[in-house]
Amino acid sequence: MSSLFNQYRVEELLLATGTLQKRLWQEAGELRDAVFGKEVFIRGVIEVSNFCRQNCDYCGMRRDNQKLDRYRMNSDEIFDHLQSILPASVRDINFQTGEDVVAVRETILPLVRRIKKESRLGISLCLGTLESKDYDQLREAGGEYYIIKIESGNEAHFKAIHAPGTLAKRIEAIHYLATTGWQVSSGFIAGLPDQTKEHFLETLNLLHRLPLRGTSVSPFIPGENTPYEGAGVMSGVEALNSVAILRLQNPDRIIPAVSAFNIVHEEGYRLALEAGANLGTINLTPERQREDYQLYTKHRVIMNQERVLKAIEKAGLTPSEKSMIRFLKKI
């Protein structure tokens, strides 16, 4: 563990500016380089369905949001779309949905089978809390990496923000996935309403203890048509320092730069890479669906290949030629 943790409390590192922030990011970057080299993995994401049975207070896709046009793509249309637009830099693909079991069974399962059979892409999935048999079928079909976020590691806070199900169930799912052959990633939202310093620390500690290969932090952005519309946003400094803290605590995990960093800071995406992130995601959702995959706002910052590659270059890093999932299998 970094010596910074002996000299400073995590709360101090979170607010670090100037020389201390420089040191924090530098140590985080060096740790990332020591495990992964100066390379950033690149994956594509397709947001397959915005139907969701959950009602998270921080998300525009919550079931009570009547103002959202809902869509669910089918597997053939996604496969054809991918074939026509897959950027040359992409080595892994992530399929993401609201918590929509119809999409899981009717779209994702056949799609994963086909991608596994007809391509060399690593397959990651972010589909919410499902039944064990769904995870098993998806794994059997070719899914390898499952993203299931805890959002807050404090049980009372988790309940207060109406995060999906219960924290205990999410943790149980992480353990189940990790013991059934999945590589698992989890993460949290920094700056959620009513998130105290204690919640923040509890969340970091929990993520560190869980059997994860990836960990993410997203800055809270108040969602349109959600109970948190109009809530305050944390500073870009804190959000970006969170990335470095995660890296110092978890040197050998995949940590993504998420597009929401560009909302809290104009150069946020590149800075997240400088602070220790090692995964860039190119949004491949077809344009007509993209606007309705509204985690917080319809006015999203869309990271295409050009923007991702530019941020990687400006951060002094290079795009990896390898699939993140295959790389993880060897370490």
Judged by the rule CB under 6 A, the positions of this chain that interact with ligand SF4 are 52, 54, 56, 59, 61-62, 98-99, 128, 164
Taking a C-beta distance cutoff of 8 angstroms, is the pair 194, 152 a contact? no
- Cβ(129)–Cβ(165) under 8 Å? yes
User: Whose Cβ is closer to ligand SF4: residue 31's or residue 48's?
Assistant: 48
Tell the smallest beta-carbon distance from residue 223 to ligand SF4 (Å). Answer: 9
The smaller minimum CB distance to ligand SF4, of residues 135 and 327, is found at 135
**Toward ligand SF4, which CB reaches closer, 187 or 319?**
187
How far apart are alpha carbons 75 and 283 in whole angstroms?
Answer: 17
Closer residue to ligand SF4 (CB): 27 or 292 = 292
Q: How far is the CB of 85 from ligand SF4 (least distance, A)?
A: 24
Give whichever of 54 and 225 is closer to ligand SF4, judged by the CB atom: 54
Residue with smaller CB distance to ligand SF4, 41 or 293: 293
- Judged by beta carbon, residue 164 or residue 256, the one nearer ligand SF4 is 164
**Shorter beta-carbon distance to ligand SF4: residue 128 or 256:** 128
Q: Closest distance between ligand SF4 and the C-beta of residue 20, in Å? A: 33
Q: What minimum distance in Å lies between the beta carbon of 158 and ligand SF4?
A: 12
Shortest Cβ 123–ligand SF4 spacing (Å): 20
Q: What's the closest the beta carbon of residue 222 comes to ligand SF4, in angstroms? A: 14
Nearest-approach distance from CB 52 to ligand SF4, in angstroms = 3
Q: What does each C-alpha distance from 37 to 29, 40, 217, 317 come to in angstroms?
A: 10, 9, 21, 9
State the minimum distance, in angstroms, from the CB of residue 53 to ligand SF4. Answer: 8
CA dist 315 and 240 (Å) reads 14
- Pull the structure tokens for residue 31: 């740790």
- As measured in angstroms, the least distance from the Cβ of 48 to ligand SF4 is 12
3-state secondary structure the chain: CCCHHHHCCHHHHHCCCHHHHHHHHHHHHHHHHHHHCCEEEEEEEEEEECCCCCCCCCCCCCCCCCCCCCCECCHHHHHHHHHHHCCCCCCEEEEEECCCHHHHHHHHHHHHHHHHHHCCCEEEEECCCCCHHHHHHHHHHCCCEEECCCECCCHHHHHHCCCCCCHHHHHHHHHHHHHCCCEEEEEEEECCCCCCHHHHHHHHHHHHHCCCCEEEEEECCCCCCCCCCCCCCCCHHHHHHHHHHHHHHCCCCECECCCCHHHHCCCHHHHHHHCCCCEEEEECCCHHHHCCCCCCCCCCCCCCHHHHHHHHHHCCCEECCCCHHHHHHHC
Residue whose CB is less far from ligand SF4, 10 or 207: 207
